[in-house]
Amino acid sequence: MKSSVITFPGSNCDRDMDVALKKFGFKNKMVWHADTELPKSDLVVLPGGFSYGDYLRCGSMASKSNIMHSVINFANSGGMVMGICNGFQILVETGLVPGVLLRNKYLEFICKNVFVKINDKQNKYFKNVDTKVLEFHIAHNEGNYFCTNDQLKEIEDNNLIAIKYCDENGKIEEQYNPNGSIKNIAGVFNKKKNVLGMMPHPERMIDTSLSGEDGSLFFKNLINNLR
């Protein structure tokens, strides 16, 4: 399985993602934002970080960069595109996934482990994951998911919520919502569910000595689903 990780000026989780993808069997290539051609890929990842210094709105400038034309075409033709954290912010700015990410409700940068409940398994990202709740890491200032009422209706009618913030048992309540996101949303799909945007970082949970293993579970499952 081949993957590509796009590096924007200011990306800082690109190499962590490279390590994670390779650890679980992907042949990964790093792709510079100014390139126009996307290498042949089964999965394209927009990594976390602070592309373009988060100027204007997080992800707004990166969403207009050269390589994104190819990424958008790839996604529209059914290709798997995953945006993590700043990558999620870039995805919403392209319009590939609905909504926007606002400043966290209590204005603080949040860096901690959280639990998320898988809301939908009818997709290649979470199909066959052998658990309902995953422990991932979040580190963001603008992760407060917001969308219009019309978008929310479309999201719920089409079951496009991927994961929701919850407690370790999967209980979804406001107190487990770290950033003020509507409906505790931590990640959403596009309509075809080939594009996933999520705030949590699975690539930070691939080693017990560092953090945890739920990211390993996610990546092992992902490559199996793509085979």
Catalytic residues: 85, 201, 203
Enter the DSSP assignment of 119: -
β partners of residue 28: 3
| Shorter beta-carbon distance to another protein: residue 53 or 171 | 53
Residues of this chain that bind another protein (CB under 8 A): 56-57, 60-61, 64, 93, 99-100, 102-107, 144, 146-148, 151, 180
- Shortest distance (Å) from residue 105 CB to another protein: 6
- Shortest distance (Å) from residue 100 CB to another protein: 5
What is the β-pairing status of strands 185-189 and 195-198? antiparallel
Q: Based on DSSP, count helices (H) and strands (E) in the chain, helices before strands.
A: 5, 11
Radius of gyration, CA atoms only, the chain? 16
| Shorter beta-carbon distance to another protein: residue 108 or 213 | 108
- Shortest distance (Å) from residue 1 CB to another protein: 34
| Shorter beta-carbon distance to another protein: residue 145 or 218 | 145
Report CA torsion sign: 166, 154, 43, 33: negative
Identity at 138, one-letter amino acid code:
I
Q: Give dist(CA 95, CA 223) in Å, integer.
A: 26
- Shortest distance (Å) from residue 56 CB to another protein: 7
| Shorter beta-carbon distance to another protein: residue 32 or 106 | 106
Collapsing DSSP states into helix, strand and coil, what is residue 136? strand
